[in-house]
Amino acid sequence: MEFRLQGKEFIELNKLLKFLNIAESGGYANQMILDGIILLNDKVENRKRCKLRPGDIISIKNDDLSIFIKE
């Protein structure tokens, strides 16, 4: 899956998870991140407001979903 920033410099990780309906709420998105199941460029990401920029790849442990951040 691709996510285009559409002129923005970045999007925060928890907002992306909610926007794409991967998490049903902001609180659930934050919990997913704190649980260590979200990977940024193949490494566990624990920062809720991590700024995602073009070229970053988000994935979820034990799931085939990958999100490619594009300009």
Classify domain 11-62 at the CATH topology level. Answer: 3.10.290
Residue 9: exposure state from Cβ atoms within 10 A (0-12, 13-18, ≥19): exposed
Predicted pLDDT at 62: 87
Which pLDDT tens digit goes with each residue over 2-61? 999 999 999 999 999 999 999 999 999 999 999 999 999 999 999 999 999 999 999 999
Coil, strand, or helix at residue 15?
helix
Predicted pLDDT at 28: 97
- Cα 6 from Cα 28, distance rounded (Å): 25
Sorted by where each begins, the domain ranges of the chain are: 11-62
